[in-house]
Chain A
């Protein structure tokens, strides 16, 4: 694999990580304030639909973006009303939002455009075009450029504006949460709302503010999918990314910089899955790597808790068994015969890694203490 291929994979990771990152930060704000949000997926989907619909009818991507944020905010308001004011179950409200968005987007879109739950393809004014940073080489000449120029032109340049916005959101989130009074209160309301209330600050107000920020960020994420990555809305186009963002949030232990790392890691796995579907390796390399991984897992879990030992030890054992089977089945053909890694394995890698990482490596992920609990003022 040459340097340019690596850059192309990283470039693709960044594109794929952007909606995850925005949704993950959205969830971070909401959950840090004690409101669990399963509805990230639904909000992204609603935002994707309305941004594409408005961009298609008005021809302006900025109006589309605003409309997308509006749609997402509306769903956030429903979630807030159900879980903050009415003190309903946050999980149920979130699930309801997902269903609502999945159904309504298709129904409204069919009624509006009559194209079976799609919006018409967006023309150039209705999309976020890639921004070419000054001095970047066009894609056709990139293979002749020097490594630094390749890095600059391929990885840093050529993304849509929203990618840079998403990346900027990370330091901004960190600053707001850890360096401002609002952020301190927001975090406190997720840990111990009674204490915040005692200090004379409105718990309800803070939680609504958090849910609002969540809505805005989800709105940008949805608009990014429909108007930057794609040129229009297709039903169910969020394809589970909201749930992956939730997994990334736990993986990141509800922290903004970790969230960036987690989302980039997921994006990287998806990019690898897209790019390398047919990897051929000699049998001895494959079984060697698997065996080493298995042994590494065993060594890692020796001093861990029982649960870790069962999950990761079991996985290590599985890897060792697969390695043995590969070795045995290739003995006759010779150990340097090439075998193919199954596509299914590469495609499941992001999900397997989520389980492994969450089960063993992330340490203890402690959610905000009052997360998922509606606040009832003492009488």
Chain B
């Protein structure tokens, strides 16, 4: 028995040192799953782009439940992966426990910008700015003057989307009505397309003719119902215009892929600290491609681009819900 232990031990040590020498980067996807066509998928695309361009390889895991967060982090850190990228705000607690134990490993976490640790890179996005732009498009495309917002789990981050969206709508049409709904208060709210559909139908019956989904996998149901019922929808995080060509007005892009790509490219020399990605540095924006070209007129585009450059120049500031937990344009 002890002989077996020795053999297994040395084999494990050999395996560990082998991986440590390679120092491949690793990425941990959140509960929505790698192919949620949205946030996590954007992160995966960034990692994949890095792998395609450099020929390198990376390790990955999709979490199945909350308890795996710390476990997965420690396992990658023990195995010598460096840097370790996490997709999602929910990693903040696990990371603040794990990071001090592995001072030589660099961590990057997306949607968390409040940790200050020597080996952690926090990347926050100005979702309110991107949502503001798609809100302007929504208000210009709406004939009824009523637009909808379907959020996933009711957390401040999603309210930031909703609040930015509402401000954009009001900027174009001050009398517009915004119907905001959240799918739920548990992580199951990211994966309930049936409820997403029902929320959308309820919003349509209240007059909404453009619906913005910031709800992960639930958004699939929102976009589907919007397409079935003949109204427009707006996708989120990844470019979702292709999902229902001619029915998706635009997508609020959150360049999670760029953030992951950059973290992987810097490798173990990753610059730590907190970074904020907004319109000014290409972190957020709206999607325009062949699938929605017919929906976005030149007027709409020039109005939105003007707002984008005003935000970049600092002459227009979009209120951030998370800064004071209030929203001037929408009550949740």
Contacts and interface: CB of A to CB of B under 8 A. Distances in A.
Q: Which of B34, B191, B195, B202 has the most CB of A within 10 A?
A: B202
Given A8-B205, A116-B34, A116-B36, A239 B191 contact: yes
Contacts of B205: 5, 8
Contacts of A106: 33
Contacts of B34: 116
Interface string B176-199: 000011101100100111110111
B10 to A, nearest CB: 34
Contacts of B228: 231
Interface residues of A, number: 34
A16 B36 CA distance: 24
Nearest to B223: A121
Contacts of A16: 194, 198
Interface string B212-223: 000001001100
B332 interface: yes
A271 interface: yes
B331 interface: yes
B202 A8 contact: yes
Contacts of B217: 234-235
A51 to B, nearest CB: 14
A240 B191 contact: no
B331 A278 contact: yes
Given A239-B192, A344-B154, A347-B184, A234 B220 contact: yes
Given A8-B202, A8-B205, A12-B202, A274 B195 contact: yes
Interface in A93-135: 106, 110, 115-118, 121
A277 B197 contact: no
Given A234-B220, A275-B202, A344 B194 contact: no
Contacts of A235: 33, 191, 217
B185 A239 contact: no
Given A121-B224, A231-B224, A274-B181, A115 B194 contact: no
Contacts of A232: 220, 224
Contacts of A237: 191-194
Contacts of A115: 35
B191 A230 contact: no
Contact of A277 (B33, B181, B243): B181
B198 A236 contact: no
A309 interface: no
Nearest to B221: A230
